[in-house]
Amino acid sequence: MDATAVRPHAETLRTLPGDDVRQIMWRFADRLDLQMLVQSARAVARGPVARLVANGARSTHEWTEQKALLLKEFDAAGITGAPLEPADGGYIEGPKNLALALIAFELAWVDAGAATGSLAGCLALAPIHERGTAEQRQRYTRLCAPPEPGEDRKPWRGAFCLTEPLPYVGVETSLLGGRVRVVEWEAGKEPFLEVDKRGRFITNMGFANFVTAAVDSDDPRIKGTCMVVLEETDPGTFDRGTPTRKLVHQLSSTCDPVFRMRVPADRIIGGYTVKDGIIIPRYSHGEIIEAVFRRTRVTVGLMTSAKLLSAVEPVIRYQRDRFRGSSAVSAGSPRYELGLQQKPDALHRLLDVWATGEASASLGFTAARLFDELEPVEKEKDRILAGQGIHGGSAAFKALRKVQKDALEYLELRRKPVGRRESQRFEKLENDPLVKYLLLDSLASVYCPACKLWNTGHGANMMREAVSLMGGYGITEDCPGFLGYKWMDAQLEATYEGPEAVQRRQLSVTMINEVFLAQFRGWVAEMREIAATRPGTGACSLATAMQMWLWTVQHLQVAKDADGAALYQTNRQGVTFALADALCWLLSARSFILDVMELEQAGPQNPVVAEGLAGTVQFLSDLCHVQTARSAGEAGRICAELVYGYNRHPAWDEEGYKGCYHMDELMALESIIPGLASMATDVIESDGSHPAKAGPCAKCEGLEPFIRLRTKLDGCLTGSQLAKDRAAEALTKVMIPAALDYPA
Amino acid sequence: MNIPYQIVVCGGVVPDPLQTLEPIATANGPALKNELLLPHVLDPWSAHALYEAAHLARRSAGSKVWLVSVAPKTKLQQVMMTIGQRVPLELVAIEGPASGFTDAADVAAALAAGIEGIAGLDQSRLLLFGGWESASRAAGATMQMVGERLGIIDQFQGVDELSVADDGALRILERIEGGQHQVSVCSGPPVLLGWATGNLPEPPNHPQIGMQNMRAIMPALQKARTAQISGGARFESVTLPKQQRATRIVKDKPVEEIAREIVTWVTAE
């Protein structure tokens, strides 16, 4: 990219981006319901939640009366009712993934434990919502609905019980310690089951009225695994257990419960059939978990994004105020006014935190919107397949496999100019719900783990950076913005609902889906087009990095290591996981660029945004450039390690000598080609000695395209540090509020 | 005796007080730096008036609350996202500046016109509420002028409490010197109450109230008429108040000690 093509606007960022800007970037400017939800969730976060944290509520892992008051606040704010359908006491029409993402973001801006607590109820209901029978959905969603205005009713709270205790730490899709058996089965009547389950780290358990628990059959009369609903008044033991001695997220209730209860078989989520005297649950626990976690992981990813963005204002204030109050620093002097912001390092490091926060928020909200878009399409897909007598499982997989060809054809046609493609065929494919499903599903299956992995994993690292910018203050309870707590919390977010290895594993499968890769190829061209009109965003360097990643994926899928073993295979996590990491960098940077483009296009229609739009777009574009340069660098490093790293380096042995000149031979050639000797690096002397290095230089045959891309990528970073300097300058001028809007 | 009141609340929007409020000079007179970009809230005095109205309306079956506001539409919309979830209301939006440097008389005229435009308004049931120092950043004159324009002669300012007697008479507590209240009894509407802080809490948030309100609020914002507010007054100079925010974080300090410290600080001035 040519840096001279970048002509920065003279305007600079005037204030920190406000709600109007965020509504456009994250695409809910036309959703009044979501705008209201943001305001009410924020009022809870920066009011009761912040006061609890400031008053030391995080110093105990016990569920206290003060913490319990938050539940009523969640009810009143619409947080509890947000996941419910309007008919069941909710108020948001249609899919609710973006709504839940915004709630998580707002609460985690102050305290992610509060966010987790609020969402855990939703998580408990999710198995019933996703896979429950109509009766189950009706019963539990209505019980959980918050009271209507003027109604005096205590809503039920739920807990999702999957994780199990030692020695089976955590969650396995194939292993379960919890057991279910038949204890009573009169002919023609509903069987009764005994459920035996011990949970660990179960959120909301301190007060839950019901539990959705994953169990395995302990009875030949029950087939496989399932999830069952346990109510606190069911006969048997409903022991909430001891509070988990966690160091983080202390505003949520987490316990290690024990259940041994008798329940009717109609509590099996999704129902069951009886065949040859055996109860066959309609859904295994694995199928239910997949449907649930697929969506809820996005909200976890956004919790860490909120922390990073919430750090910006307190850090700026700390930097500027750093020397005020000292008798040696007089009011009005540069040191008084700018404090630590006189030094570029403080600014650059804060920019890195901010850019990561922006990119991760963009990635997370993109994923949330994607699931909103996917939800009705998925239902339509299920309806169509059911019409063909296909009800999930491998039959559905096979049926969709046949449609994959159509999806790829559609993408191929879409790339062509309108006049040069077969329009009838294109329209047919475009309106095919199954094609649409495959396209969206392939993206959702990548974006969800990418968001969970990168936002929380890299986010936790950057939270450490944010804490360090506050000096010793950062690791005190009094740190404005609770940054020390947030750093710790981020580590939990990287772990729960599937730790980083699980996300990498999922990505290693979904990112090589041909339908995803075909769309990804299209994004390279998309980034180049953006770069043509907006070179200052770094879109061009991102496009090159994306090309390099694509080349590397293709290469590694056929390449072998030095011992002849395949590189891209399930157990070769050194390859697959690293490529997954690289992809996350690229996806987050792309999402950020697209959000800034949206702001630039839609901003002028909103008078408030239009007022400072030029400066805001200039600053965010510079931030994009900073982030794309970092992303391209990371992706380039990872790809280079993988492409070269599995080849054995030549040694000073017989094989290695084959690629070297011998001094005598070189001298003879020199007489024919003068100057050749000066270019030869690996020369074996007449006495057999060789240059002092690891071995002859590696030849890299067949890797020339990669070498060209890598060289090009390095050049593409041109201008990125100029953008960083511009953004740093803006940081010294941006107006921030007089005080943080929540206590510390 | 249940009287279904028609409660009209006048309320503007102001920048969130936690923001940096820096006066600047512009071609059109003084303004706040980046004012349009700052998050806004309902003027705190008006907010008290609105919450008192909501409580009264809930107690008196058949009552209705209107909020009449002169403000930039986009800012008003943002504020309604919060207010609209707490109080069932009908919005009368008037496009105009929210600036504190406008003339109270112009603002009062625009508000009065907006109120007169409400269809079916019945003076015999009308309670006109507002903040006693709203709309002109503590000029304390706006509500009085609105009342005069509407012919409401029973006016009370600095109100902290309103109660309705069995015969429908209104018992009103107004702030006077020394932390005391003046008690007045008024036979009934129409009456103007310029509220101080009131004494009732914020009504609880309820998203379903918000969803219901929004159906009417958005059309009201779209059809908002623009008010001609000239500015009127000429400002010689504008500066920040001299006091400075000096925040200390002190935990577990006894109330008596805090009170003693405040008295020492006040008497030392």
What pLDDT, in 10s, does the model give residues A343-375?
Answer: 999 999 999 999 999 999 999 999 999 999 999
Q: Are residues A506 and A625 in the same domain?
A: yes
Q: Are residues A253 and A196 in the same domain?
A: yes
Q: Are residues A333 and A199 in the same domain?
A: no
Interval A508-539: pLDDT, tens:
999 999 999 999 999 999 999 999 999 999 99
Q: Mutate which of B37, B89, B249 to disrupt the A interface (most A C-beta within 10 Å)?
A: B37
Residue B244 has pLDDT above 70, yes or no: no
Q: Are residues A428 and A526 in the same domain?
A: yes
DSSP assignment letter at A274: E
Confidence at residue A3, expressed as pLDDT on a 0 to 100 scale: 42
Residue position matching structure tokens 């094989």: A655
Average pLDDT over residues B36-44: 93
Interval B170-224: pLDDT, tens:
999 999 988 899 999 999 999 999 999 999 999 999 999 999 999 999 999 999 9
In a domain, B252, yes or no: no
Q: Are residues A11 and A23 in the same domain?
A: no
Smallest CA-to-CA distance from A230 within A208, A256, A251, A254 is with A208
Within 8 A of B249 by CB-CB distance, chain A residues are 478, 744
CA–CA gap between residue A78 and residue A287 (Å, rounded): 30
A725/chain B closest Cα distance in angstroms? 24
A357/chain B closest Cα distance in angstroms? 21
Query: Which stretches of chain A sit within 8 Å of chain B by CB?
Result: 14-15, 18-20, 32-33, 35-40, 43, 76-78, 81-82, 91, 148-149, 478, 606-608, 611-612, 735-741, 744
Q: Are residues A499 and A587 in the same domain?
A: yes
DSSP assignment letter at A154: P
A91/chain B closest Cα distance in angstroms? 6
| Domain final residue, candidates A106, A121, A153 | A153
CA–CA gap between residue B3 and residue B47 (Å, rounded): 23
In a domain, B50, yes or no: yes
Within 8 A of B38 by CB-CB distance, chain A residues are 15, 18
What chain B residue is nearest to A146 in terms of C-alpha separation?
A: B206
SS3 A567: coil
In a domain, A677, yes or no: no
Contact B81 A43 (CB under 8 A): no
Read off the CATH number of the domain in which A498 is found: 1.20.140.10
Lowest pLDDT segment from A317-321, A392-396, A397-401, A561-565: A392-396
Q: Are residues A355 and A214 in the same domain?
A: no
In a domain, A694, yes or no: no
Mean pLDDT, chain B, rounded, equals 90
Q: Are residues A221 and A345 in the same domain?
A: no
SS3 string, chain B, reads CCCCCEEEEECCEEECCCCCCCEEEECCEEEECCHHHCCEEECHHHHHHHHHHHHHHHHCCCCEEEEEEEECHHHHHHHHHHHCCCCCCEEEEEECCCCCCCCHHHHHHHHHHHHHCCCCCCHHHEEEEEECCCCCCCCCCHHHHHHHHHCCCCEEEEEEEEEECCCCCEEEEEECHHHCEEEEEECCCCEEEEECCCCCCCCCCCHHHHHHHHHHHHHHHHCCEECCCCCCCCCCCCCCCCCCCCCCCCCCCCHHHHHHHHHHHHHHC
B212/chain A closest Cα distance in angstroms? 10
Within 8 A of B204 by CB-CB distance, chain A residues are 76
Number of domains comprising chain A: 3
- Residue A512 is which amino acid? I
| Domain final residue, candidates A286, A314, A332 | A286
CA–CA gap between residue A509 and residue A498 (Å, rounded): 16
Within 8 A of B209 by CB-CB distance, chain A residues are 149
Lowest pLDDT segment from A227-236, A721-730, B133-142, B152-161: B133-142
Q: Supply the range of the domain harboring residue A416.
A: 3-16+294-646+718-733
Q: Are residues A193 and A129 in the same domain?
A: no
Confidence at residue A2, expressed as pLDDT on a 0 to 100 scale: 42
In a domain, A672, yes or no: no
A317/chain B closest Cα distance in angstroms? 12
| Domain final residue, candidates A110, A131, A153 | A153
In a domain, B104, yes or no: yes
CB A430 within 8 A of CB A412: no
Confidence at residue B137, expressed as pLDDT on a 0 to 100 scale: 60
CB A467 within 8 A of CB A474: yes
- Residue A551 is which amino acid? W
In a domain, A416, yes or no: yes
In a domain, B243, yes or no: no
In a domain, A322, yes or no: yes
Average pLDDT over residues A400-417: 95
Number of domains comprising chain B: 1
Q: Mutate which of A24, A34, A36, A320 to disrupt the B interface (most B C-beta within 10 Å)?
A: A36
Q: Are residues A172 and A149 in the same domain?
A: no
Confidence at residue A590, expressed as pLDDT on a 0 to 100 scale: 98
How does residue A671 score in pLDDT terms, banded at 50, 70 and 90?
A: confident
In a domain, B246, yes or no: no
Q: How many CB pairs under 8 A join A and B?
A: 96
What chain B residue is nearest to A37 in terms of C-alpha separation?
A: B207
Q: Mutate which of B38, B81, B91 to disrupt the A interface (most A C-beta within 10 Å)?
A: B81
Q: Supply the range of the domain harboring residue B99.
A: 6-226
- Residue A141 is which amino acid? T
- Residue B94 is which amino acid? I
What chain A residue is nearest to B84 in terms of C-alpha separation?
A: A36
- Helices then strands, counting H and E runs in chain A, come out as 26, 12
Interval A90-119: pLDDT, tens:
999 999 999 999 999 999 999 999 999 998
Residue position matching structure tokens 């041909």: A514
Contact A149 B206 (CB under 8 A): yes
What chain A residue is nearest to B206 in terms of C-alpha separation?
A: A76
Q: What DSSP letter does each residue of A215-262 carry, written as one string?
A: EEE-STTB-SEEEEEEETTSSEEEEEEEEP--SS-TTS-EEEEEEEEE
- Mutual orientation of helices A344-387 and A393-415 as an angle, nearest 10°? 120
| ipTM confidence score | 0.88
How does residue B69 score in pLDDT terms, banded at 50, 70 and 90?
A: very high
In a domain, B249, yes or no: no
Read off the CATH number of the domain in which B107 is found: 3.40.50.620
In a domain, B80, yes or no: yes
CB B233 within 8 A of CB B85: no
Residue A59 has pLDDT above 60, yes or no: yes
Smallest CA-to-CA distance from B13 within B31, B40, B35 is with B40
CB A469 within 8 A of CB A442: no
In a domain, A696, yes or no: no
CA–CA gap between residue A263 and residue A184 (Å, rounded): 10
H helix intervals, A451-572: 456-468, 483-493, 500-510, 514-533, 539-558
Contact B16 A18 (CB under 8 A): no
Q: Are residues A206 and A135 in the same domain?
A: no
Average pLDDT over residues A408-417: 95
In a domain, B101, yes or no: yes
Q: Are residues A279 and A410 in the same domain?
A: no
Q: What DSSP letter does each residue of A649-713 carry, written as one string?
A: PP-SSHHHHTTSEEHHHHHHHHHHSTTHHHH---EE-TTS---SSSSSPP--TT-HHHHHHHHHH
Average pLDDT over residues A714-718: 96
Within 8 A of A82 by CB-CB distance, chain B residues are 207
In a domain, A23, yes or no: yes
Share of chain A above pLDDT 70, in %: 98
How does residue A4 score in pLDDT terms, banded at 50, 70 and 90?
A: very low
How does residue B113 score in pLDDT terms, banded at 50, 70 and 90?
A: very high
Read off the CATH number of the domain in which A94 is found: 1.10.540.10
CB B70 within 8 A of CB B227: yes
Please give the C-alpha separations between residue A396 and each of A5, A390, A514, in angstroms, as whole numbers. Answer: 51, 6, 18
Beta pairing partners, B192: B128, B155
Question: From its phi and psi, is residue B137 left (phi > 0), alpha (psi between -120 and 50) or beta?
Answer: left
CA–CA gap between residue B224 and residue B215 (Å, rounded): 15
DSSP assignment letter at A158: E
Average pLDDT over residues A702-712: 96
Exposure of A438 by Cβ count < 10 A (0-12 exposed, 13-18 middle, 19+ buried)? buried
Smallest CA-to-CA distance from A496 within A200, A102, A178, A150 is with A200
Residues 31-50 of chain B with CB under 8 A from chain A are 33-34, 36-39
In a domain, A384, yes or no: yes
